[in-house]
Amino acid sequence: MAMERIDGSRFGSERGAVQIKTVLIVVFLLAAVFTLIKVVPVYIEQQQVTHEADELARKAALGLSAYSNDKINAELTKLQQEYNLPEGSIALSARGDNQAQITVKYTRSIDFLVTNYAWNVDYISTGKGI
């Protein structure tokens, strides 16, 4: 049984326990923040690319003469260059009958200090006309 002081604190082996907990909590929080700093930009980029692909699929599905296959492919190339995506990672896969599909498929490598993680994006955007 540990002896107690008058002020309620304990003697001996319990003295450093709070410090070890604090160090472990700080290390865990730093690791979580580091992970978030690495992952969040890749996630935001993925959301922006898929949103823009959805918009292009919607416009392509309308069947307006202003959005011909050449115009859509030019927009897809512009999107690919804007986000520095690999060649062929975004393409118009189908168009007709008031529908259009745009396929987005690429991989981003996230470099953690001890390992790399391959963030795969595989998305099919379907736009439907009126």
CB 123: neighbour CB atoms within 10 A?
15
CA distance 65 to 75: 15
Report if pTM > 0.85: no
Q: What is the mean pLDDT of residues 85-104?
A: 88
Give the pair of three-digit tokens for residue 113.
């200090």
Query: Could you read off the pLDDT of 35-80 as tens digits, one per residue?
Result: 999 999 999 999 999 999 999 988 888 876 667 888 888 999 999 9
Give ∠ CA 116-38-76 in degrees, rounded to 5.
Answer: 90
